[in-house]
């Protein structure tokens, strides 16, 4: 296999370079984060504060905080209710293509996996979106694999334009773009961008991302900032927990979001919390364990660091966990998720990226929320273009 | 008390309690409105799922004055567009102007709010701007055509009470428009405290939405607002704030 870019810090042609100031700060914090130095007293002190510093956040992710999960949950619930009441936003994802030019060792869509690839035509996108909207959804997340060649910005733009006919809120989870490209998609109706750094450990990043644009660490790191420069309203952060040391990665995710919010105070910040799930051809991997208890510690720490941020709970998690964290710390949940290409209007057209653990549709998720005294929110934004 | 009406934008209201609606289930809306006996309810246009499920506009009785807010707006231009859309979908002329450019503290941007107030007031809107209690900004809002000003008691959603009390008192002394405390009121006693100070009305959402029994808390707020208003109208008895009076007069040595 040929490595097209050996140095993960080296940009490829056409990639926009912006300031590395936030990346350098996060990198320094990440490298110096020793979670073993934190004590019970540090955790208690953090839980007593209204507004947490990154130092307090570091304590909440430490082993010392393990015995305080219940107290963290109580604080998190209080903050979640203060900021969101009993509202929980409900959305669904649509994969429009799964072609990929990156080789990410852990991913089911990676370019070395011989899986069934597919890409929806404009008519198929319209049919899928119409079928989703008919179910009652008003928020859609459009996803592609990491292939600029197959799923171009123009192609994604067409999907956004179609989505605008049916949805009040459009998010995109695609390969990172330059700010002018984000501005283009924003002008068509997309307002929210999700990009996950996977791991903030550069050495591990290099080992896991063997080729393709995704191998360029700083270009991916700065995607949220370029999206905001391009006029997007909100950006989502996350690491693939379990790929490396989850405490350090979760710490870096929080610090990344913290500095972005500080530099762009208007930005709507959100977090997703994926962890390693089974996938094909993975026998050589040995991910560090992130059990539900550890995942919950991360989610609660996100909530306490940024009480105002949206926290989304993945369909990778089983229903009992999702039902437990929604309203406690998470205020956004997907329903009726399909992780192959299409699938809302007839059969899926490509293989799935990962296994989902909660196949419930919109009606069942609504029922669960209402039984918990929560209210599903379908629309929480207003088009102004 | 019969004549003690709240007057805003040519309308008269008996209730001096405004209900925020974003944080509790829509199915409770009717009973909360009834228990609070409110006549004005705020609605976030971005939550109006027109033609879809859980549309907040379908849950508010017709006799209630809608106060659509511009939440989500970061600039004057965005707020103006939201207000116009609200009017187009039948929410009326009242608008609670809310312009927030900071996702962390959710503090209102007074400068942008003044700009939007002027534009909307000129278009015939009854503009009720949410603001940080700054005297200069309040004066500018009066000049721009606001129909009321809505200073925050403390940041949205914090339930911390009236931390800005001294600054709201300045607005009460200087601004000849209804002053409505908009955010931060966490308990009925704080609503009463605001009313005792002489504000025209109070608004709350989080405090009711996060209560164990929303209907009962709605009624508690109603009663607190009435009690506070009555105390204000009655004229508070003399309250010594910090010092006791010396039992022997300090000036007793004076002889002629």
How many other CB atoms are found less than 10 A from the CB of residue B14?
12
pLDDT of residue A208: 86
Nearest CA in chain A to B86: A382
Give the strand pairing for A169-173 and A332-334.
unpaired
Average pLDDT over residues A363-367: 93
Residue B211 clears pLDDT 70, i.e. is over it? yes
CB A104 within 8 A of CB A209: yes
In a domain, B195, yes or no: yes
Nearest CA in chain B to A362: B53
Structural domains of chain A, with CATH: 21-377 (3.20.20.70)
Encode pLDDT of A256-294 as tens digits: 999 999 999 999 999 999 987 644 455 554 446 888 999
Average pLDDT over residues B167-180: 95
Contacts of A379 in chain B (CB under 8 A): 46-49, 52
pLDDT of residue B157: 74
Contacts of A309 in chain B (CB under 8 A): 103
In a domain, B180, yes or no: yes
Give the strand pairing for A332-334 and A341-342.
unpaired
In a domain, B254, yes or no: no
Whole-angstrom Cα distance, residue A338 to residue A141? 12
Residue A381 clears pLDDT 80, i.e. is over it? no
**C-alpha triplet A44, A49, A52: angle, nearest 5°:** 100
Q: Read out DSSP for A124-146?
A: HHHHHHHHHHHHT--EEEEE--S
Whole-angstrom Cα distance, residue B116 to residue B40? 22
From the list B11, B23, B30, B96, the catalytic residue is: B96
Residue A317 clears pLDDT 70, i.e. is over it? yes
Show the domain range for B42: 6-234
pLDDT of residue B48: 73
What stretches of A48-94 show up as alpha helix (H) in DSSP?
54-60, 69-84
Q: Read out DSSP for chain B?
A: -TT--EEETTEEES--EEE--TTS-GGGHHHHHHHHT-SEEEEEGGG--TTSTT-GGGGS-TTSEEEEE-TT--SHHHHHHHHHHHHHTT--SEEEE--B--TTT--B-HHHHHHHHHHHHHTT-EEEEEE---HHHHHHHHHHT-S-BEE-SSSTT-----TTHHHHHHHHHH--S-BEE-S---SHHHHHHHHHHT-SEEEESHHHHTSSSHHHHHHHHHHHHHHHHHHHHH-PPP--SS-PPPSS-TTTT---
CA atoms within 13 A on the CB side of A140: 33
Whole-angstrom Cα distance, residue A91 to residue A370? 16
3-class SS of residue A52: coil
pLDDT of residue A248: 96
Whole-angstrom Cα distance, residue A63 to residue A65? 5
> At B36, which CATH number?
3.20.20.70
Cβ–Cβ gap A376/B46 under 8 Å: no
Nearest CA in chain A to B206: A82
Total domains, chain B: 1
Report CA Rg, chain B: 20
Residue A219 clears pLDDT 70, i.e. is over it? yes
Encode pLDDT of B41-87 as tens digits: 998 887 776 667 667 778 888 888 889 999 889 999 999 999 999 89
In a domain, B86, yes or no: yes
A208: closest CA of chain B, how far (Å): 34
A88: closest CA of chain B, how far (Å): 10
Phi-psi region of A122 (alpha: psi -120 to 50; beta: other; left: phi over 0): alpha
Average pLDDT over residues B87-115: 93
Tell me whether residue B96 is one of the annotated catalytic residues: yes
Q: Which of A187-191, B32-36, B41-45, B62-66 has the highest mean pLDDT?
A: A187-191
Give the range among A50-59, A339-348, B104-113, B165-174 with minimum mean pLDDT.
A339-348
B225: closest CA of chain A, how far (Å): 22
In a domain, B239, yes or no: no
Residue B229 clears pLDDT 80, i.e. is over it? yes
Cβ–Cβ gap B209/A86 under 8 Å: yes
In a domain, B125, yes or no: yes
Higher local confidence (pLDDT), A118 or B150: B150
Burial status of residue B246 (CB atoms within 10 A of its CB: 0-12, 13-18, 19 or more): exposed
pLDDT of residue A235: 98
pLDDT of residue A280: 45
Higher local confidence (pLDDT), B78 or A210: B78
Higher local confidence (pLDDT), A331 or B156: A331
Higher local confidence (pLDDT), A312 or B211: A312
CB B175 within 8 A of CB B138: yes
In a domain, B60, yes or no: yes
Strand partners, A173: A143
Average pLDDT over residues A159-164: 97
Considering only CB atoms, A86 lies closest to which of B24, B106, B157, namely: B24
Instruction: For chain B, list residues whose CB is within 8 angstroms of any CB belonging to chain A.
Output: 22-26, 44-49, 52-54, 72, 74, 78, 81-82, 85, 101-104, 106, 157-159, 205-206, 209-210
B78: closest CA of chain A, how far (Å): 7
pLDDT of residue B240: 60
Tokens of A223: 């995607």
Average pLDDT over residues A61-72: 96
A267: closest CA of chain B, how far (Å): 6
Residue B236 clears pLDDT 80, i.e. is over it? no
In a domain, B205, yes or no: yes
Q: Which of A86-100, A332-346, B10-24, B219-233 has the highest mean pLDDT?
A: B219-233
Higher local confidence (pLDDT), B210 or A305: A305
Which of B19, B104, B187 to mutate to probe the A interface, most A CBs <10 Å? B104
Higher local confidence (pLDDT), B250 or B150: B150
Contacts of A168 in chain B (CB under 8 A): 46, 49
Contacts of A305 in chain B (CB under 8 A): none
Q: CB within 8 A of A46, min separation 6: which ones?
A: A52, A56, A57, A59, A60, A304
Whole-angstrom Cα distance, residue B149 to residue B179? 5
């Amino acid at each position: 296999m040929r490595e097209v870019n050996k140095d993960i810090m080296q940009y490829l042609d056409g990639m926009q370079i912006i300031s590395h100031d936030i990346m350098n700060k996060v990198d320094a914090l990440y490298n110096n984060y020793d979670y073993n130095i934190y004590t019970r007293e540090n955790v208690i002190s953090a839980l007593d504060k209204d507004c947490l510093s990154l130092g307090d956040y570091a304590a909440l992710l430490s082993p010392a905080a393990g015995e305080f999960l219940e107290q963290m949950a109580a604080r998190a619930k209080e903050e979640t209710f203060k900021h969101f009441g009993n509202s929980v936003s409900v959305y669904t994802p649509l994969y429009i293509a799964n072609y990929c030019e990156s080789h990410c060792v852990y991913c089911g869509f990676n370019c070395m996996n011989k899986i069934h690839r597919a890409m929806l035509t404009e008519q198929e996108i319209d049919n899928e979106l119409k079928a989703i909207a008919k179910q009652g959804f008003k928020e859609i997340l459009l996803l592609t694999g990491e292939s600029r060649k197959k799923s171009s910005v123009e192609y994604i733009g067409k999907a956004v334009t179609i989505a605008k006919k049916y949805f009040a809120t459009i998010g995109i989870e695609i390969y990172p773009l330059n700010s002018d490209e984000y501005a283009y998609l924003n002008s068509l109706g997309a307002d929210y961008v999700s990009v996950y750094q996977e791991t903030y450990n550069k050495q591990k990043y290099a080992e896991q991302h063997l080729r393709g644009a995704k191998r360029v660490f700083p270009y991916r790191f700065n995607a949220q900032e370029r999206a905001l420069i391009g006029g997007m309203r909100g950006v989502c952060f996350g690491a693939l927990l379990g790929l490396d040391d989850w405490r350090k990665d979760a710490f870096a995710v929080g610090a990344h979001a913290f500095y972005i919010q500080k530099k762009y105070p208007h930005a709507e910040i959100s977090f997703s919390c994926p962890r390693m799930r089974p996938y094909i051809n993975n026998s050589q991997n040995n991910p560090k364990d992130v059990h539900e208890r550890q995942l919950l510690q991360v989610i609660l720490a996100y909530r306490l660091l940024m009480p105002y941020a949206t926290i989304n709970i993945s369909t990778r998690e089983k229903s009992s966990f999702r039902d437990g964290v929604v309203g406690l710390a998470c205020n956004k949940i997907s329903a009726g998720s399909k992780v192959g290409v299409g699938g809302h209007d007839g059969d899926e057209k490509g293989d799935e990226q990962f296994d989902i653990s909660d196949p419930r549709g919109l009606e069942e998720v609504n029922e669960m929320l209402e039984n918990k005294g929560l209210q599903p929110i379908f629309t929480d934004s207003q088009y102004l273009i | 008390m019969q004549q003690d009406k709240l007057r805003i934008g040519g309308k008269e209201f008996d209730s001096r309690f405004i209900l925020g609606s974003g944080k509790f289930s829509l199915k409770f809306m009717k009973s909360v409105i009834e228990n609070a006996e409110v006549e004005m309810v705020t609605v976030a246009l971005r939550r109006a799922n027109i033609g879809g499920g859980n549309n907040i506009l379908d849950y508010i009785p017709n006799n209630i004055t809608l106060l659509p807010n511009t939440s989500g707006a970061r600039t004057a231009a965005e707020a103006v567009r939201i207000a116009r859309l609200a009017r187009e979908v039948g929410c009326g002329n009242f608008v609670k102007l809310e312009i927030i450019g900071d996702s962390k503290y959710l503090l209102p941007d007074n400068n942008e709010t003044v700009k939007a107030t002027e534009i909307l007031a000129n278009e015939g809107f009854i503009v009720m701007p949410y603001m940080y209690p700054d005297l200069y900004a309040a004066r500018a809002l009066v000049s721009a055509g606001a129909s009321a000003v809505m200073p925050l008691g403390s940041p949205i959603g914090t339930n911390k009470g009236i931390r800005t009390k001294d600054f709201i008192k300045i607005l009460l002394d200087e601004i000849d428009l209804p002053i409505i405390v908009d955010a931060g009121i966490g308990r009925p006693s704080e609503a009463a405290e605001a009313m005792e100070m002489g504000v025209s009305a109070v608004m709350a959402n989080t405090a009711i939405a996060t209560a164990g029994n929303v209907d009962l808390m709605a009624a508690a707020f109603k009663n607190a607002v009435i009690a506070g208003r009555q105390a204000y109208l009655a004229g508070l008895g003399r309250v010594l704030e910090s010092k006791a009076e010396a039992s022997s007069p300090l000036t007793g040595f004076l002889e002629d």
